[in-house]
Amino acid sequence: MADLTHKISQGRGDAPADVVLRGAQVFDVITGAMLDGDVAICGDTIVGTCASYQGKEIVDVSGLTLVPGFIDTHLHIESSLVTPFEFDRLVTPLGVTTAICDPHEIANVLGVEGIQYFLDAALETVLDIRVNLSSCVPSTDMETSGARIEAADLEPLRAHPQVIGLAEVMNYPGVIHQDPGIMAKLEAFSGGHIDGHAPMLSGKDLNAYIAAGIRTEHEATTAEEAREKLQKGLRVLIREGSVSKDLDALLPLLDERTASYMCFCTDDRNPLDIGEHGHLDYLIRTAIARGVSPVAVYRAASLSAAEAFGLKDRGLIAPGHRADIAALGNLENCDAKLTFCGGVHAAEAAFMARKITPTIGRKSVKAPVVHAQDFRTASNRSETDVIGVIPGKIITEHLHAQIAPKNGDKAPDIERDLIKIAVIERHGINGNIATGFVKGFGLHSGAIASTVCHDHHNIACVGADYDDMALASNRMTALEGGFVVAQNGEILAELALPVA
């Protein structure tokens, strides 16, 4: 970090700035004005705007618009299916300069070791990865996870420079009913940032949840739900991931009045969506296309996000702020041409200069060998509970169907889109196998298996054929986790995800 003397000297123009961005206009996310003049950078800090500067390095950004770097306020990097380093290479050139992550997925497999891996990686990436410490491992005692994390396990990590606070408190019933384990975590992080997770919670239960010290929340799926949370002081993080798509529902609430209390997040966004549509840049483009004012949108994507999580050093292109800058072709397209993260140009040279943290969690799939008969569902009644998939949502429906047992088994009914789902314990703890039914996949044959199974990350397998389900599930151990598609006794496709 440049010392104070250098910052002051370069800010006054007494000494040439380390880097000068010249020729662009700066979009002020406070007033909405377009500002002329150079942007002078000393080390990782902006030291001058709205004036002419000399620099050791001049970067020509003529015709571009400079905006503060974008802040993803809640995500699980693991859902991108790549390590933090590849995620860095993927999203930083799109204008994302800060990612506030919850390493909840790797923590449910490896425990504190998984969180420590993210903290170590966060010290090396170009992208400023900030970590909220996972609060719910396991997310519920109804699941078998690979680890259990208590308040005492998290407290030694609080002082790490990349830690913000406590990650999404998913066990909202535990908050309301004062579960001792949850209470210990809330008390340990009292006075710091505590992130929320309270889908459809309202009324006095929501009051109680917020009173526990929770300040941000990303689970609102309707404008009415988000409005109540805003009115009760929660900062609402508008989510648009690969499965949970709440942007259109919540955008009517976002304007210049509410933008200071609303932010953007992706939560879980897969690499196909990032590659085809973008990351936060997609949310920004979409919001503006839907008629939200650019100043409200860009404020929510930067300054409001920084303030929500106590990151006082960023969110503005102004003297004294961290040099997190995206240079865009224009505001409407949100098409980043250059990104500076902490004064570093996010280009190939910067990515190549990183020290890569060794990966962990290899050979963590310790599942039992399964056979076709393991997927049979014994029952003596036709009434059957069914999971109903809702497109674009992670919330599911509780459906009921009549499935008559045949030869002691309730088999898939392809014509009614009632296929079998199974969860196979893969952490080497008990080898349990659970079966049920799901509607909404539209799968007519074969099977799909995956260890990406929120939040316990056991093997989840859906299928229309028991032999294919066994084939796909058993492939997971050799693959060390990932995705497998099987049909007619053959593996059609697979993607290995061997890190945890």
Predicted pLDDT at 141: 82
- The closest alpha carbon to 151, from 187, 200, 185, belongs to 185
CB of 323 closer than 8 Å to CB of 346: no
- The closest alpha carbon to 339, from 88, 6, 72, belongs to 88
Half-sphere exposure of 71 (CA within 13 A, CB side): 29
Distances (CA, A) of 198 to 73, 194, 215, 216, 357: 16, 13, 12, 10, 34
Half-sphere exposure of 433 (CA within 13 A, CB side): 20
Residues constituting the chain: 500
Tell me the C-alpha distance between 133 and 140, whole Å.
17
Predicted pLDDT at 1: 57
Predicted pLDDT at 379: 86
383-388 and 433-439 as β-strands: parallel, antiparallel, unpaired? parallel
Predicted pLDDT at 2: 64
DSSP 441-484: S---SSEEEES--TTT--EEEEES-HHHHHHHHHHHHHHTSEEE
State pLDDT tens for residues 319-356: 999 999 999 999 999 999 999 999 999 999 999 999 99
Please list, in sequence order, all residues whose beta carbon lies within 8 angstroms of the beta carbon of residue 478, skipping any fewer than 6 positions away: none
Half-sphere exposure of 229 (CA within 13 A, CB side): 29
Domains delineated in the chain: 4-63 (2.30.40.10), 67-352 (3.20.20.140), 372-496 (no CATH)
Structure tokens at 497: 């995800």
3-state DSSP of 337-378: EEEEECCEECCHHHHHCCCCCCCCCCCCCCCCCCCHHHHCCC
70-75 and 96-101 as β-strands: parallel, antiparallel, unpaired? parallel
In three-state secondary structure terms, 494 is strand
List for the chain the helix, strand, coil content (%; round to 5).
30, 30, 45
Number of H helices, E strands in the chain: 16, 26
Which residue carries 């702020």 as its tokens? 321
Q: Please give the chain's pLDDT, 500 residues, in tens.
A: 569 999 999 999 999 999 999 999 999 999 999 999 999 999 999 999 999 999 999 999 999 999 999 999 999 999 999 999 999 999 999 999 999 999 999 999 999 999 999 999 999 999 999 999 999 999 888 899 999 999 999 999 999 999 999 999 999 999 999 999 999 999 999 999 999 999 999 999 999 999 999 999 999 999 999 999 999 999 999 999 998 999 999 999 999 999 999 999 999 999 999 999 999 999 999 999 999 999 999 999 999 999 999 999 999 999 999 999 999 999 999 999 999 999 999 999 999 999 999 999 999 999 999 999 999 998 889 999 999 999 878 889 999 999 999 999 999 999 999 999 999 999 999 999 999 999 999 999 999 999 999 999 999 999 999 999 999 999 998 899 999 999 999 999 999 999 99
Structure tokens at 236: 């609402």
Which residue carries 């030694």 as its tokens? 156
State pLDDT tens for residues 57-73: 999 999 999 999 999 99
